[in-house]
């Protein structure tokens, strides 16, 4: 019980006491205290610089992260630009291909065989009791309803009943040649219509003078007399029916 509250010194008083005590100490002790203070100060400084260093590291990391984000963003933009450029190039290529395909499809010289699944039953110039004069076309026998197509691009100039020819379609092509499609069961076109090679004009039938279902095909250069369709198909279309 040596002390009471009243006897306790305030912190200021305590410091003064320490200072007074330090003054009363000899040089050796004094320098010991000073050394301790300097060390304490140095330690504090070092801690402070560590904090700064840590701060610097954080700043560097943040800067590096920002740089990386920036680089990534740039790369993304570049990729997007490239993707957009590629998409645009692809679209252009597709448009060009479509235009080329359309141009090829609409070409005046392109040919398509008039029907498939046929067999030739009579050739041009054949004589016989079936015809009043020698056969004026090429007969493609096929089941009734088989699609009959225009051999080349042209304009339909006739689509009507034509006596012994039955249902007949005539197509005038750009070089003036007229092709005839006969004995058909129906019409798929009307006069004035433009057809492209391969477009349906009708279907195989047995209308007019015929002993069985077939498509009698004729070729009339400049709308004149019929010629042999076989060499015409070969020379104009590379077709050998």
* Residue ranges binding Zn ion (CB under 5 A): 137, 139, 216
For Zn ion, which is the closer residue by CB, 122 or 155? 122
Q: How far is the CB of 122 from Zn ion (least distance, A)?
A: 5
Q: How far is the CB of 137 from Zn ion (least distance, A)?
A: 5
Residue nearest to Zn ion (CB): 216
Q: How far is the CB of 210 from Zn ion (least distance, A)?
A: 8
For Zn ion, which is the closer residue by CB, 153 or 202? 202
For Zn ion, which is the closer residue by CB, 74 or 120? 120
Is the CB of residue 181 less than 8 Å from the CB of residue 196?
Answer: no
Q: How far is the CB of 138 from Zn ion (least distance, A)?
A: 7
For Zn ion, which is the closer residue by CB, 137 or 229? 137
Q: How far is the CB of 87 from Zn ion (least distance, A)?
A: 55
For Zn ion, which is the closer residue by CB, 139 or 199? 139
């Amino acid at each position: 019980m040596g002390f009471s509250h009243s006897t306790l010194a305030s912190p200021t008083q305590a410091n003064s006491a320490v200072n007074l005590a330090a003054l009363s100490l000899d040089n050796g002790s004094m320098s010991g205290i000073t050394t301790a203070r300097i060390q304490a100060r140095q330690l504090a400084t070092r801690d402070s610089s560590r904090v700064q260093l840590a701060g610097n590291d954080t700043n560097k990391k943040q800067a590096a992260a920002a740089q990386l984000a920036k680089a990534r963003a740039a790369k993304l933009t570049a990729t997007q630009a490239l993707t957009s450029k590629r998409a645009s190039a692809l679209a252009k290529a597709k448009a060009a291909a479509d235009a080329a395909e359309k141009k090829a499809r609409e070409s005046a010289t392109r040919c398509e065989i008039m029907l498939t699944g046929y067999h030739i039953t009579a050739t041009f110039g054949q004589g016989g009791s079936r015809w009043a004069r020698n056969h004026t076309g090429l007969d493609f026998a096929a089941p009734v309803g088989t699609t009959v197509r225009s051999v080349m691009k042209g304009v339909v100039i006739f689509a009507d009943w034509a006596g012994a020819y039955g249902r007949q379609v005539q197509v005038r092509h750009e070089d003036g040649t007229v092709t005839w499609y006969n004995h058909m069961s129906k019409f798929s076109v009307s006069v004035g219509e433009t057809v492209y090679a391969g477009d349906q004009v009708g279907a195989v039938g047995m209308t007019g003078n015929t002993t069985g279902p077939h498509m009698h095909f004729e070729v009339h250069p400049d709308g004149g007399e019929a010629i042999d369709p076989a060499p015409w198909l070969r020379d104009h279309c590379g077709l050998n029916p």
